[in-house]
Structure 1
Amino acid sequence: MAKDSSDFDYVVDRFADIEVLRYKVPDFENLSLQQKLLIYHLTEAAIAGRDILWDQNGKYNLEIRKLIESAYTNYKGDRNDPQFKALEKYLKQISFANGLHHHYSMDKFSPEFSREFLLSNITNKPANIDTLLSVIFDPTVMPKKVNQAEGQDLIVTSSTNIYEGVTQPEVEAYYAALKDTTDLTPISYGLNTRKTKVNGKVVEQPYKVGGLYSPAIERIVSELNKAAEYAENPAQKAYIKKLVEFYTTGDLKAFDDYSIMWAEETDSQVDFINGFIETYDDPLGMTGSWESIVNFKNNEASARTETLSKNAQWFESHSPIDPRFRKEEVKGVSAKVITAAILAGDSYPATPIGINLPNANWIRAAHGSKSVTLENITQAYDEASHGDGFNEEFVIDEPTRKLLDDYLFITDNLHTDLHECLGHGSGRILPGVDPDALKAHGSTLEEARADLFALYYLADPKLIELGLLDSPDAYKAEYYKYMLNGLMTQLMRIEPGKDVEEAHMRNRKLIAEWVLEHGKADNVVEYVTIDGKTYIRINDYKRMRELIGQLLGEIQRIKSEGDYEAGRNLVEKYAVKVDPKIHDEVLKRYAHLSIAPYKGFVNPVYNLVKDANGNVTDVTITYGEGYLPQMLRYSKDYSTLSK
């Protein structure tokens, strides 16, 4: 997708540290009616799972959402009153985070309205109102959704609702007893369960029809069954039905079968993810947060990802890692650029810009994987950032700003392509190594491994040979942005005195700090001060690439061998602690720019068009819905787990 200068209104809302955007769904109108109906029912299945994520994120989230929405919609007073405005801001915040805790920092939101104001605007007080008010207003109650602090019990100190009444040692011992280290095709233990105790023993409560979240899952299943009738081919219909089987039984073997069928089906244009997938919100990195993205292939833009996937073996064979950790044969790597049609669950309102699935290493090795780049999402980010003053404030000089203007859009997308298409699927774990051996640090190290793979190959002449870049200097745009972000500008998302906790932020900081330290002898990267402001200067891009290759080799070794201590040491040394002086400066410089640290999206709205006989003749798409109106509509029409 080429950049354009259309007058599409990308920005929808701005509050706290959030900017809400729209995204286009180009070429939807060119799809067949069958494809449109497939997308329609998949989007309904996607939105139907919304309450699952809210409940996973916190035991009281659904009850408090209902309380706050009721107080907001039924308010009879002056809507310009500061107390009401504070209530509105709080509602926008929890709606964006799918719960009471910030989606990145994991800290609980602090309401700026009073307890008395809320109480005076609640018409039907629930029996546990005192508990709910305590959760909302007491900063010591459930303060952190996911705690990653070294040396603490990460389960006991986390407020996420995937564990109840259990400790970290108990859960680790439970799964250690279950796992067979000789099993070469292990299920994803704990992926779709809440862990609790019954009669003093740790047990798993599965998410399935007839189990936890049954009303929501039943609605998802109903829409998936409708979608299956419009599948583009028998293989696609078969994997949709297998996903229904998984939701019905909760059997993780069925989920593996579905994942294999899904990864191997590459002929359809419409595709989706739907389920318990990414494990970042589990302090132990096992339980999947519910999410869904519905999409269709961008045929023109997919040429570059298809080129990468066709050459996957070359990249694997030339990777700067120990040959013992390389895959001898790369199988089934498919990659495409997609147009997102709907975002849901853990992918909404904040969303990834790339996806590589399945997560199971043995499925990737034996059956391949699918990698996608959401280019209509990156397009929206890019268009909304025009003229925001960031480059002028933080990029060291005009030649570097021109480098970013010329090449950052394509190298950013290529970085995502390489990260998702090849990075996550590269390398191999040695036989007998537990895939969960890196425990709480696994997500950070895996994201670092994929980022390093992408960064290393962005600078390779192979990309020019393949026609993916047209200049040997293009990669420098991504290298500069990455170091600037990892060392400085991502700190705008951190509160003063806080550590870096989110896995992707830790990953970027780990890489940038490691390269800075290990390049000191050669002055590869340095901080420089100009007119009282700190900037990043890269003096030797070639040497920086060599360092990236070295770190990739070490992190691949850590993953392949399951070296927990080495992984922990890397994360704790380079990825966690913040330089307060640099942090303070970054915050002050950002304050003059009015740039929101976080961005997310509202979804388009799909409607069925019927003729006089009730037959569906088309599916239309509109973009006009506002942020809170969408959230309130979703709560009204998709409250499958209302408490």
Structure 2
Amino acid sequence: MNLSYLLNIRKKLTRNLKKVNKYQKKQINKFTKKDQSIDDKYFQKDTKNVIIFLKEVQGINPLEYQAIIQFLLQANKLYKLDFLKIKTLITKKYIIITNKHKQINQQINKEQLQRIMSVKKPFISDKSPIMSVFCSQEFNQLSDKEKEYSYNFSKASWEGAKICYFQKSYEAPALFTILQLTHSGQSTEELRKSAVDAGVTEEEFTKFLYYSAGVFNNCGNFNSFGDDKFIPELSPASFQKILSSSHNYKQYKELIDSLYADIQPFIFGHEGRLSKIGYPPVEGSTGYYSGNLTKEEIEKLDDFLKVLNVDTLNTRLVKFGDKHYGVLVASVNRSKTTHYYLGEKIDLIYGDYSPLLRRVSYHLEQAIPFSANKNQEKMLIHYVNHFNNGDIEVHKDSQRVWVKDQGPIIETNIGFIETYLDPRQVRAEFEGFVAVVDKERSVKTNYFVSKAPEFLKKMPWPSDFEKDSFLKPDFTCLSVLSFGSSGTPLGINIPNYDDIRQEEGFKNVYLGNCITSPKELLFLDKEDIELKIKHFPAVIYHKVIFHELLGHGCGKLFYEGNYDAENIVNPLTNEKGIKKCYKPNDTWGSVFKNLSNPYEECRADSVALYFSTFKEAYEVLQPEQVQHWEEISIACFLEFVYQALIGLQFYNADDKKWGQAHINGRWVILQVLLEAGNGFVEIEKAKHPEDANKDWIKVKVDRSQVLTTGKEAMRKFLLKMQVYKSTADIEAATEMFGNYSKVNEKFLEIRKIVIDNKKPRRIELQGNVFKDFQGSISYKTYPETIEGVIQSYVERFPYFDKEVVDLWNEYRRVQKPSL
């Protein structure tokens, strides 16, 4: 597809132009050059975004015109004159494109055009299954004191979770406010009736409910797993009708209209940088960095923070103007100091999220009298001091105490923890959780912990590459009571601070009530599907336990002075002496940077898969499954191959990037297994066994080679991963991991089949903890319906939160990305 083709389109559109009045013709004829802009005031009245227009005219304009617009827009060759002509042909109205598209030198070929045309719009399906995460039985067994403790920590977690909206995207806090006001004004059924009376169809209203649930579930309009955008599956006009049908609309009309007018293009826009989390202003958008910042400016500001010895974890960055920047530090207390660095003015501003963190601190203070022991009391005090002052070192103190709080009935943690959401992976998303121990299962996991040193000896690397001593962590199986963040994991291994992990230890938790068995699987043979479903609980239990305890807990980092640099033999080269290592102020994350998360998740998963081939693993962890251990091992390999294949939907083919660290890691493991050869794992494009006209995927895992070819492939790969990690060999690790992360043309074709057959994601439904006027604390569950999900969030956040709007307005001018 070349420029001459585009010019032919231009001619065709011009020839077909009809019924244009004299004034319009006069204006159009002024523009003879393709790059002239339109400055006439007549055209400036309509400033809707191009993306929104495409959504509005869906089903009105012929597909060929929509494809033309999408192609020209993607190619940055959509000029205002073309758009005016197309708009006239379709709706007889005019639109001004607010952003000036720059020409790019590269030509978009036919395959790229087909990819643009074939992309499905990212909706939250109204067929999405509802997955309940309830904890009624466990909660009812708690003492009154334990219920008070869990209630206050739950409140702190959910109030803090509102921070996640600010971290997700520019529009997310305003979107939360709009949806919260809309749903909290009346019951869902009353809102449905009002919306239908206003002209909205029942189907449109249901799709609105699923979109709302998606926003609440993910703390924004980007999926927490994959970081991809989702948009409403209804028109902007119908969306507006539902908003105006709410009882709260009368009282908050001006606010709702103002917020919706501002963020509507970001709600419905899903092309280009609006479609994903990424560095501004070109790659994508994120709440961590204002839309006018560049990647180079972000790196410079982070270098400045290193000079000041200020941690990046709980910060955001904004650009106020030319050579004027702001570093926003999350804290209750507010202060501002101005610095000058390399010719730039930088304001260090404490007090980001202050109103929200004030509530977090308040509820944590309320929990202190109900602590089970002195460790919990000290931990809570550290939490409060950290949130008040924003000092990450104080949060590290809380984690030092936390790892000493062994075997509590109620397990908790809170803070800025995981960095997956940040494109730079140095800024952390807020999370807080409360969970109740599963005593029976925890006995098994703690027995496994006692045997961990024996498994460490079976690692593929020499003992010199293992930690000097294994700091036995606490490992508990829990049922989630409250998880306030943008998504609930299956297992957790924290703290993430390298110095604490190396010197003082860590904890592992397995969140058992977050797991549901699959009911339908694709692409595998019938026998493999039956085996995978049969052993799914055992596979996931093995996978999470080994991933968290040994995967994240094993391996030594070489620092100057903590290893014998002259005499250690490199097992990859058999040469004596290892010179590469971490410097005194280095951390795993600071050296491996963006590679650190996918690399570490891949390493932890690889440990789990490797040990699935050891009978001893089942004898210790799941003795009741020993007679089936070989079948479970096969099912483990099927699980990793299947998850890697399904994970292709998270690969961005245009940017050639993976949208999620865990999926990237699983894809790398799949490539290792394919590379092993011998026909061990084979994946090919095929025809559907029941429909010869439908493309399908044939997946084969040779069961007879799991304990031989599969085990040896994982052994060799794990050895490389650990040596590169231990020796801070970022160059070798980047080359190896980068090559395995690639998706070739064959798998791009397979990716299309995966996307065409992908199943809706689950929507999570958590219960709520309440305290009545008499001080009685109760736990409430909800119907496993979309209405139940909405009700759970309305009762969790029942009142309009003006401070969320005020916080959003505080940096609204600089945060807003350009369209």
Output the TM-score relative to the length of structure 1.
0.85
Partner Cα distance (2:293, 2:125) in 1: 37
User: Where do 1:475-624 residues align within 5 Å?
Assistant: 475-486=633-644, 488-491=645-648, 500-517=658-675, 519-520=676-677, 522-527=678-683, 531=689, 534-538=698-702, 539-542=704-707, 543-577=709-743, 579-588=747-756, 590=757, 595-596=759-760, 598-608=761-771, 614=774, 616=776, 619-624=778-783
Partner Cα distance (2:376, 2:309) in 1: 22
For residues 561-614 of structure 1, give each alpha carbon's deviation from its aligned partner in whole angstroms, at most 9, with x where no partner exists: 3333333334433335261332233345x46xxx43x2242111223367xxx3
Is residue 2:504 matched to residue 1:367? yes
SS of corresponding position for 1:394: coil
CA shift at 1:401, angstroms?
4.3
Is residue 2:801 matched to residue 1:641? no
Is residue 2:300 matched to residue 1:160? no
Is residue 2:230 matched to residue 1:109? yes
CA shift at 1:636, angstroms?
3.0
CA contact (8 A) 2:159 2:356 kept: yes
Which of these residues, 607, 611, 630, is aligned with residue 792 of structure 2? 630
SS of corresponding position for 1:48: helix
User: Where do 1:165-176 residues align within 5 Å?
Assistant: 165-176=292-303
Is residue 2:439 matched to residue 1:293? no
CA contact (8 A) 1:322 1:553 kept: no
Partner Cα distance (1:188, 1:314) in 2: 40
Which of these residues, 204, 222, 236, is aligned with residue 327 of structure 2? 204
For residues 607-641 of structure 1, give each alpha carbon's deviation from its aligned partner in whole angstroms, at most 9, with x where no partner exists: 3367xxx354x534434471122233344348352
Partner Cα distance (1:449, 1:155) in 2: 32
Which of these residues, 486, 493, 513, is aligned with residue 346 of structure 1? 486
User: Where do 1:180-195 residues align within 5 Å?
Assistant: 189-195=311-317
SS of corresponding position for 1:277: strand
CA contact (8 A) 1:510 1:570 kept: no
Which of these residues, 536, 541, 544, is aligned with residue 413 of structure 1? 541
Partner Cα distance (1:33, 1:559) in 2: 47
CA shift at 1:259, angstroms?
1.0
SS of corresponding position for 1:227: helix
More helix by share: 2
CA contact (8 A) 2:767 2:779 kept: no
CA contact (8 A) 1:236 1:265 kept: yes
Distance 1:308 1:170, change over 3 A: farther
Segments of structure 2 that go 5 or more residues without pairing to the other structure are 1-123, 184-190, 245-252, 334-350, 560-582, 690-695, 807-819
Partner of 1:7: none
CA shift at 1:483, angstroms?
1.5
Partner of 1:21: 131
AA partner of residue 506 (structure 1): N
User: Where do 1:24-39 residues align within 5 Å?
Assistant: 24-25=134-135, 26-39=137-150
CA contact (8 A) 1:312 1:333 kept: no
Partner Cα distance (2:127, 2:665) in 1: 22
User: Where do 1:80-99 residues align within 5 Å?
Assistant: 80=201, 83-99=204-220
**When the two structures are aligned, how many residues end up with a matched partner?**
596
Distance 1:107 1:605, change over 3 A: closer
Partner of 1:9: none
Output the TM-score relative to the length of structure 2.
0.67
AA partner of residue 327 (structure 2): E
Distance 1:220 1:156, change over 3 A: farther
CA shift at 1:377, angstroms?
1.4
Which of these residues, 265, 268, 275, is aligned with residue 405 of structure 2? 265
Partner of 2:557: 429
Larger radius of gyration: 2
Percentage of matched positions with identical amino acids:
21
SS of corresponding position for 1:535: strand
Partner of 1:278: 418
AA partner of residue 582 (structure 1): I
AA partner of residue 642 (structure 1): V
CA shift at 1:405, angstroms?
4.4
SS of corresponding position for 2:439: coil
Partner of 1:307: 447
Partner Cα distance (2:407, 2:180) in 1: 43
Partner Cα distance (2:209, 2:144) in 1: 40
For residues 409-461 of structure 1, give each alpha carbon's deviation from its aligned partner in whole angstroms, at most 9, with x where no partner exists: 11211210111122112112221144222222211001001111111122223
Which of these residues, 438, 444, 467, is aligned with residue 598 of structure 2? 444
Q: What's the Cα RMSD here? A: 3.0
Higher relative contact order (CA 8 A, sep 6+): 1
CA contact (8 A) 1:316 1:327 kept: no
Which of these residues, 40, 46, 52, is aligned with residue 157 of structure 2? 46
For residues 323-380 of structure 1, give each alpha carbon's deviation from its aligned partner in whole angstroms, at most 9, with x where no partner exists: 4431011114221111111121133xxx1000000001211111110001111112xx
Partner Cα distance (1:18, 1:108) in 2: 16
Distance 1:534 1:137, change over 3 A: same
CA shift at 1:533, angstroms?
5.1
Partner Cα distance (2:306, 2:749) in 1: 46
Partner of 1:457: 611
AA partner of residue 679 (structure 2): N
AA partner of residue 593 (structure 2): K
For residues 121-168 of structure 1, give each alpha carbon's deviation from its aligned partner in whole angstroms, at most 9, with x where no partner exists: 553255565432232234458514423xxxxx6776331111224332
